Chain A
Amino acid sequence: MPAQYYCPQWYGTSNSTMTTQTLYYPQNWNTGTASTIYTTGSNQIWTRWNEQWVQTAITSTDMAWQRWINQSQVYTYQQTPTPLTPEQLQAQREASERYEMQRQERRQRQTAARARARVLLGEFLTDEQKAELERQGQFHVTGSKGRRYCIRASGQSGNVDLLKADGSVQATLCAHPTIVPGESELVPEADAWLMQMIEIRHDEDRFLRTANVHRGRLPVG
């Protein structure tokens, strides 16, 4: 590859099947080795040009120019918009409306599910834990081996802190319910907090084996 590259400032074409596309003059281009490429990033043709330039053995400026034209023509041709028929436009509108309706229904379901999960969690929390959750957005749990944990009511990933004796954070842990079999979403957050609490207070060692450590480290032994 030559150290000096040729770069067209613009290229446009127009005929019965293609639309004109003006290319942008690149602000930077390679003037060093072939492995160093600078692009404006905003022009796809320029990006393709650079890809071709690097990947293809171009040995003359004529070949480089021809490559540029070919790439531009192909890209421009693919970009040519096809007018939609009235039927297609109507179908497009209906699909959009269906999507919006489904999105709203999904949001309503999720809101109701979050409320139900919160009620269920409340059935298992002590009054002290409920007060903590209400005031601080977190609650503490004692594990089956006696360690203390803080479950933060913020998401269900990386929301559990294993605490030291002085109350500071020993490690931030992540263990959450997997996606429900046959479903595509996680359970509501409050359900995840409930399961984290149950597993910690019943089978702390298993929880620690399952969880990934996001910050800090687990105690030895």
Chain B
Amino acid sequence: MTSLVAEANRVEDHEGDVIVMVVLDTSGDTKHIWDRRNAEEVAEARSLFDRMKAKGFQAWSVTRGGDKDKRITEFDPQAEKIIFAPALVGG
């Protein structure tokens, strides 16, 4: 996975077995890309997922159309795209 970690905004270029994890942060966002067919990469993605959850981020499995959005608490290797974001708070 490490070799595939990317920050570029090229989400739309990836289809099929390439999955994107987007972490919203003060830099805008950081994208991590992995291949769900590669067990080693999936394991690294799962590790990242757990680390982000431990830091207090919320995870969303999302699609462009929004019809399959769902909040997830466990890593889903079948997710199309996962967004990590700080929880919303009332302001």
Contact = CB atoms under 8 A, between A and B. Distances in A.
Nearest to A118: B28
Interface in B28-65: 28-29, 55-57, 60, 62, 64
Contacts of A109: 26-27
Contacts of A140: none
Interface string A91-120: 000000000000000000100111111011
A212 interface: yes
Contacts of A114: 28
A112 B25 CA distance: 12
A133 interface: no
Nearest to A213: B90
A210 B88 contact: yes
Interface string B51-91: 00001110010101010011100000000000101111111
Nearest to A144: B69
Nearest to B23: A180
Contacts of B87: 177-178
Interface stretch (A21-29, A47-55, A163-171, A196-204): A196-204
Interface of B: 9, 11-12, 22, 24-29, 55-57, 60, 62, 64, 66, 69-71, 83, 85-91
Given A157-B91, A181-B57, 6 more contacts: A116-B29, A178-B86, A186-B26, A191-B28, A196-B88, A203-B71
